[in-house]
Chain A
């Protein structure tokens, strides 16, 4: 499965990957993290049940300094 994660190509060997599993690979933080798939917000409450599909573009965002 090929994904685009934060603008970079990301290859997964398995066929099934939840949003929660992808987030866990990118950051240990939970609070302060938000996810959009193909431009749509994926609410935290659905991370476990939301499955990613081949070709999905995923943005995983968190807090940074900014005015």
Chain B
């Protein structure tokens, strides 16, 4: 699967140096990191050589696109630049929320899936839109837990669980994770992976937070597959009364 055994995709936005980013990548155990496409005169050198050296795969995104047309064009440029069919499809609705524009997103996803891309759409936590994206051929759906960079965690866990039940393709919780417990919750809700950028790259200690996220994701996944106990309204003694001394 594209997200690898770590089940943690690292977004590279927000790191204040390549050295800090490298430390975060290594500590996170990620096998797949996002990159954006920008004009060569604006992009600093050294990112791709570093990613190659670390042996992580590149997941190009369409960050900054507001229309299906822009996103489709950017995806084709990214495929030519990075020689990968993977594309993190972002079609943003407005600057304030950075939430996806579902109509444009679905249109772009359908076109790109038809063009042979492995389309990984950043979507809202709407289970119906998630199903429509899967229906047009997306290889996964990536719902936002809360707005990009907000660190608010998963504002509607019920919807994330519904999405997991609505589609056959992998579900990757994308955006909103603030700390390790958010990542663990995403996995406990049944997500197959998480995508984390700001929570790691903007932490006081990106390497430390990357390591925390790595453990949280694995712990949450293991808790999910191990089958948690049902919630009850009253206590259930864990110690048997049988053989208790009588006074």
Chain A residues within CB distance 8 Å of chain B: 6-7, 26-27, 29, 31-36, 39, 41, 43-44, 59-67
Type the 1/0 row for B1-26, where 1 means its CB is closer than 8 Å to any CB of A: 00000000001111100000100000
A-B contact pairs, 14 of them (CB 8 A): A7-B39, A32-B48, A33-B40, A41-B80, A61-B77, A62-B48, A63-B60, A65-B47, A66-B12, A66-B13, A66-B36, A66-B38, A67-B12, A67-B195
Question: In the bound complex, do residue B35 and residue A64 qualify as a contact, i.e. CB atoms below 8 Å apart?
Answer: yes
Question: In the bound complex, do residue B13 and residue A65 qualify as a contact, i.e. CB atoms below 8 Å apart?
Answer: yes
Residues in A with CB closer than 8 Å to B61 are: 66-67
B148 near A: Cβ within 8 Å? yes
The answer to whether residues A63 and B80 also contact, given A6-B41, A31-B48, A34-B37 and a CB cut-off of 8 A, is: no
Task: Report the number of A-B residue pairs with Cβ-Cβ less than 8 Å.
Answer: 100
Question: In the bound complex, do residue A65 and residue B48 qualify as a contact, i.e. CB atoms below 8 Å apart?
Answer: no
Question: In the bound complex, do residue A44 and residue B80 qualify as a contact, i.e. CB atoms below 8 Å apart?
Answer: yes
Question: In the bound complex, do residue A61 and residue B81 qualify as a contact, i.e. CB atoms below 8 Å apart?
Answer: yes
Q: B30 to chain A: closest CB distance in Å? A: 13
In chain B, residues 36-56, which have Cβ atoms closer than 8 Å to a Cβ of chain A? Answer: 36-45, 47-48
Complex CA gap A35/B11 in Å reads 24
Complex CA gap A36/B207 in Å reads 37
A32 is contacted by which of B15, B21, B76, B81 (Cβ under 8 Å)? Answer: B81
Q: Name B16's closest neighbour in chain A (CB-CB).
A: A65
Complex CA gap A29/B43 in Å reads 12
B58 near A: Cβ within 8 Å? yes
Q: A42 to chain B: closest CB distance in Å? A: 8
In chain B, residues 79-125, which have Cβ atoms closer than 8 Å to a Cβ of chain A? Answer: 80-83
Question: In the bound complex, do residue B41 and residue A26 qualify as a contact, i.e. CB atoms below 8 Å apart?
Answer: yes
B209 near A: Cβ within 8 Å? no
Q: B121 to chain A: closest CB distance in Å? A: 14
Question: In the bound complex, do residue A62 and residue B12 qualify as a contact, i.e. CB atoms below 8 Å apart?
Answer: no
Complex CA gap A64/B77 in Å reads 14
Residues in B with CB closer than 8 Å to A44 are: 80
Complex CA gap A31/B34 in Å reads 16
Question: In the bound complex, do residue A65 and residue B81 qualify as a contact, i.e. CB atoms below 8 Å apart?
Answer: no
Residues in A with CB closer than 8 Å to B36 are: 63-67
Residues in A with CB closer than 8 Å to B195 are: 67
B32 near A: Cβ within 8 Å? no
Q: B187 to chain A: closest CB distance in Å? A: 19
